[in-house]
Amino acid sequence: MSKKRIAILGSTGSIGIQSLDILRSHPDQFAIEALTAGNNTKELIRQAREFLPNMVVIANEAHYKDVSNALSDLDIKVFSGQESVAQIVGYGEIDMVLNAIVGFAGFEPTINALKAGKAIALANKESIVAGGELVNRLAGENHSFIIPVDSEHSAIYQCLAGESSDAVEKIFLTASGGPFREKDISALANVSPEEALKHPNWDMGDKISIDSASMMNKGLEVIEAKWLFGLKPEQIEVVIHPQSVIHSMVQFHDGSVKAQLGLPDMRLPILYALSFPGRLPSDYKRFSITDYPTLSFESPDTKKFRNLALAFEAMKAGGNIPCAMNAANEIAVRAFLEKKIGFLQMPDIIERCMINITRIAQPGFDDYVETDSEARAMALNYIRNNNGNIH
């Protein structure tokens, strides 16, 4: 049986590194066709020398010579630039694209992969948050399919296996609550980026860790679920589950509920996505129900975590509003990490952009790109002009 040929976009990030760990354990099942990274030349070079892909791309063109020279003794094609990242996904030998790029930068590669009819293991939730309608249309037109890598959406995907989509009454997206679940809203005004980065259960990159602390990550997942599973806003409910053992649940119209359980280990949903429609064995630590005698649940506080409420508003507004929300959030997260604004000012910036962006009911690709650019500029302008004092 021929190996599944994989392109990993964002191979030097958390998801990319864990994906390569999986592929390293199954050399008889997979081959690496392409690897891409943004700036981490040292790790990209190391990965390329180990896995010997056909192609590598360094998105930051300033690093092209460093990567090219380091790999000159190998038969590996080296490219640079964001456009190269977006173009390689259509290469004919690629069977599956694992998109682990962080942020809106992953949108165009997702679109191009769908146009080329590739299967996509999607960790870049921003692609479908920003342009879900276009993503779904292209997937249908080109007979492609998307396997979610997020643990929550992977759980729902697994719960829906063999089920009729019209039998779904609602889904429950679980959330750990992040590092500030038990803090009062008054205490959040002065939390530091270092505190926000300390997730209680998951080891993730900086951006997704801040999103988790603000619950914007769950908001993005709400919008992602709408498009992935064809749901109405009222069919999606978020529930806080601090143990992070139940990764999500589906309730059917007969009252039955299915849940997918497992230890909080991102390698599990990555492995499922890469090996779909089959399942490959792993030697990962096994979940034991007796280790968790109590599983608890609670409703999220959307007054304390306003980003979650804003995401529901963006989903209901539709059009290009989720795209604007996502762009403003990326700017706000960066500003918070750079200590230019406080934790509670992030939703202020996002809400301003959502209110003031020109709504487009049925955006095309160029509209999404323009909205993203305009919302980023708007958010930066708010930060500069108000010195972070945004109300």
Please report the pLDDT score of residue 388 as a whole number: 45
Task: Tokens 């790029």: give the residue.
Answer: 101
pLDDT of residue 165: 85
The pLDDT value recorded for residue 270 is 97
- Residue 2 has a pLDDT of 87
CA 139 vs CA 52, 119, 126, 144, 251: distances in Å:
30, 9, 16, 5, 26
Whether residue 359 is contained in a domain is answered as yes
CATH of the domain at 117: 3.40.50.720
3-state secondary structure of 145: coil
pLDDT for res 238 = 97
Q: Which two tokens stand for residue 20?
A: 């390569």
- Do the domain assignments include residue 391? no
Structure tokens at 281: 């064995």
Q: How far apart are CA 212 and CA 209, in angstroms?
A: 5
Of the three residues 98, 114, 148, the one that is the final residue of a domain is 148
248 in a structural domain: no
pLDDT in single tens digits along all 391 residues of the chain: 689 999 999 999 999 999 999 999 999 999 999 999 999 999 999 999 999 999 999 999 999 999 999 999 999 999 999 999 999 999 989 999 999 999 999 999 999 999 999 999 999 999 999 999 999 999 999 999 999 999 999 999 999 999 998 999 999 999 999 899 999 999 999 999 999 998 776 667 788 899 999 999 999 999 999 999 999 999 999 999 999 999 999 999 999 999 999 999 999 999 999 999 999 999 999 999 999 999 999 999 999 999 999 999 999 999 999 999 999 999 999 999 999 999 999 999 999 999 999 999 999 999 999 999 999 999 999 999 876 454 4
311-345 per-residue burial string, b: 16 or more CB within 10 A, e: under 16: bbbbbeebbbbbbbbbbbbbbbbbbbbeeebbbbb
For tokens 């497992």, what's the residue? 262
Please indicate, yes or no, if residue 277 is contained in any of the structural domains: no
CB 103 within 8 A of CB 85: no
Q: Is 177 a member of any domain?
A: no
Q: From CA 264, how far away is CA 260, in angstroms rounded?
A: 12
* Burial tier of 211 (Cβ tally within 10 Å: 0-12, 13-18, 19+): buried
Q: Cα(164)–Cα(213) distance, rounded to whole angstroms?
A: 35
Listed residues 129, 148, 167: the one ending a domain? 148
Is the Cα torsion angle 157, 159, 161, 163 positive or negative in sign? negative
Does 377 fall in a domain? Answer: yes
What is the domain-level CATH number for residue 345? Answer: 1.10.1740.10
Residue 249 lies in a domain: no
Q: What is the pLDDT of residue 202?
A: 65
Determine the longest span between alpha carbons in the chain, in angstroms.
62
- The answer to the question of residue 35 being in a domain is yes
pLDDT at 120: 97
Question: Which residues form the domain of 339?
Answer: 318-386
Predicted TM-score (pTM) of the model is 0.91
Count the domains in the chain.
2
Q: Of 125, 148, 171, which residue constitutes the final position of a domain?
A: 148
